[in-house]
Amino acid sequence: MLLLGACGSAAAAEPIRRGIAMHGEPAMGPNAQPLSYVNPDAPRGGRIVLALQGSFDSLNPLIVLGVAPDVVPRYVLQSMMIRSLDEPFSVYGLVAESVEMPEDRSEIIFNLDPRARFSDGHPLTTEDVRFTFEALKKDGKPFHRSTFGQVKAVEILSPHRIRFDLSGTGDWELPLIIATMPIFAAHATDAEAFSKTSLTAPIGSGPYRLSEVKPGERVVLTRRSDYWGEDLPITRGLYNFDQIRYDFYRDANTLFEAFKTGLYDFRLEGDASRWATGYDFPAVRDGRIVRETLPIRAPKGMSGFVFNTRRAQFADVRVREALGYLFDFDWVNRNLYFGLLTRSDSYFAGSDLSSAGRPPTPEERALLAPFAQDLNPAIFAGRWKPPASDGSGRDRRSARDALALLAEAGWALDGRVLRHRETGQPFVFELLVNSRQQERLALNFAESLTRIGVQAKVRLVDDVQYWRRLSTFDFDMVQSSWSATASPGNEQRNRWASAAAGRQGSLNYAGAASPAVDAMIDALLRATSREDFVAAVRGLDRALLSGFYVVPLFYVGDQWLAHDSRLQRPETVPLLGTTIDPWWRARK
């Protein structure tokens, strides 16, 4: 059970609860029970084979160096609390059997389950929690370094009781971030080498252990027979496969061909043209592979061609807005994606967090008032939409509108070349991609840009080089996406805050450094009610859209998936979409 109370005071204790919600109360009641989207009686056993595109040279995705799959923090390590995928942001006890926290969230005390054990039999204690916290604060990715840097102090009260001093942060999400931190074994982890890439299988307390690692080729996880949390209500219905294997493929076409021949079992499809035409093969026709379209009720996030505003040619917001006129979504959607996609018009599209089509509320107006001069009037009013075209692929009006903005920014056509009026330099940049799918779209955009004299050189690089260049901001433009949850929080700092713009390894690829963006992130993190939170997120959306940091692309409104017909799932599809964790393999 989880106790949320006024720690260290004479105030009456809060009612006993099982979890913490970002705002309001968690959906699951006070009695321990399985998650709402699992089958608690799902059969155990069998193997599932999954596949990822690219390669890897590390097993720790929580540090800056290396390219690592997310399998270790997901299945080998555990956190003090587990997130429900059917709520905006609620967490429930896992390694922590109880937690104490005052109403103002100025501190949080976790009481660990004394049964928790690592796979080598060593007890999981508060020393491991503190070790992990300090390692991530010092050597983790920018998200953890900046977030954990807010904590005033960490105090071990006993081997199973640990206190985090959060006073003065004003960050309503911070307790939940700490609660979901993957815990490394202090006795089996070299603190000095934590920041370095490693293919050594870590010791964890989770339901699986790494049984095989073949660099760049395969990772195999085997379910532990001695998993300490086997009988916890919160884990019932999860982790049903005896073995999970991830195979790695160099490119998207090879990845798909492998699925067609039955080399892996479960595929989330993101390519609309392939979804429309690519699944007419024998295994689908005879029922060995099942196709499903499942609803995603969470915000859809932003996908776009990202401007690196650290580059001189993209420093002017008018230039960035102008180039957006040349992306012909209607033509691209019809000719390349069978009309299955929806244009991105918000960083939180398809939800109540989006500012698209909504005038600002009084709360938003108050938040944004100090930054009115930095906001696009149409975006502030909720009237803005990404530039539309006639769908011909050669809309003259769009080209004229783009050239007018470019002229204001000092660029003019010289014959068929766009040049800066003062320097005479032509407008040339590199558009970096890492897949044939990205390359096809990038080439289409590059061709459109030639109509206004801009030369975009599309360059395809391998996965390792691509991510290395992104982590050091060594690019002019890339195609990227930022997923969104129903409860955006501290991750927004790593994506968009000014402090992240110069911090290598952050997700602020655009180099955004906007006081309005920073203020909106601060506002959403300190919001204590849903009303204030929504106002802050919509304000952030308007500030980001006004910066024109990306040429908005599109999103898929549902989850497209194909899988081996012997794989079964629960009837309930969670708010944030399905994962394999509650699935199982039907017995013959």
CB 556 within 8 A of CB 272: yes
Lowest-pLDDT range, 9-13, 64-68, 251-255, 525-529?
Answer: 9-13
What percent of the chain is predicted at pLDDT more than 70?
Answer: 96
Tell me the per-residue pLDDT of 543-567, one tens digit each, with 9 for 90 and over: 999 999 999 999 988 899 999 999 9
Supply the pLDDT for residue 1.
38
Residue range 19-46: mean pLDDT, rounded: 88
Supply the pLDDT for residue 576.
83
Supply the pLDDT for residue 486.
85
Element (H, E) at 132: helix 126-139
Band the pLDDT of 10: cuts 50, 70, 90: very low
Supply the pLDDT for residue 303.
94
Residue range 512-523: mean pLDDT, rounded: 97
Supply the pLDDT for residue 30.
65
| pLDDT of 9 strictly over 50 | no
What is the edge-to-edge ordering of all strands in the sheet holding 161-165? 96-100, 107-112, 161-165, 153-158
Residue range 248-263: mean pLDDT, rounded: 94
Residue range 115-123: mean pLDDT, rounded: 97
| pLDDT of 162 strictly over 80 | yes
What is the token pair recorded at 164? 């985090």
Supply the pLDDT for residue 489.
87
What is the edge-to-edge ordering of all strands in the sheet holding 477-482? 455-460, 428-433, 477-482, 302-307, 550-552
Residue range 506-535: mean pLDDT, rounded: 94
Tell me the per-residue pLDDT of 133-156, one tens digit each, with 9 for 90 and over: 999 999 998 889 989 999 999 999
CB 192 within 8 A of CB 214: no
The Cα–Cα gap between 45 and 39 comes to 15
Supply the pLDDT for residue 250.
87
Tell me the per-residue pLDDT of 99-110, one tens digit each, with 9 for 90 and over: 999 989 999 999
The Cα–Cα gap between 241 and 221 comes to 10
Residue range 409-438: mean pLDDT, rounded: 95
Rg, the chain, Cα only? 25
Phi, psi of 170, rounded to the nearest 5 degrees: 65, 20
What percent of the chain is predicted at pLDDT more than 90?
Answer: 78
* pTM given for the model: 0.79
How is 202-259 classified by DSSP, letter by letter? PP-SSSEEEEEEETTTEEEEEE-TT-TTTT-GGGTTS---SEEEEEEESSHHHHHHHH
Average pLDDT for the chain: 92
Tell me the per-residue pLDDT of 270-328, one tens digit each, with 9 for 90 and over: 888 899 999 999 999 999 999 999 988 889 999 999 999 999 999 999 999 999 999 99
Tell me the per-residue pLDDT of 199-249, one tens digit each, with 9 for 90 and over: 998 999 999 999 999 988 999 999 999 999 999 999 999 999 999 999 999
CB 507 within 8 A of CB 494: yes
The β-bridge partners of 265 are none
Q: Who's near 539: CB < 8 A, 6+ residues apart?
A: 355, 360, 364, 367, 368, 516, 520, 523
Tell me the per-residue pLDDT of 462-491, one tens digit each, with 9 for 90 and over: 888 999 999 999 999 999 999 888 889 888
Residue range 54-67: mean pLDDT, rounded: 90
Residue range 40-68: mean pLDDT, rounded: 93
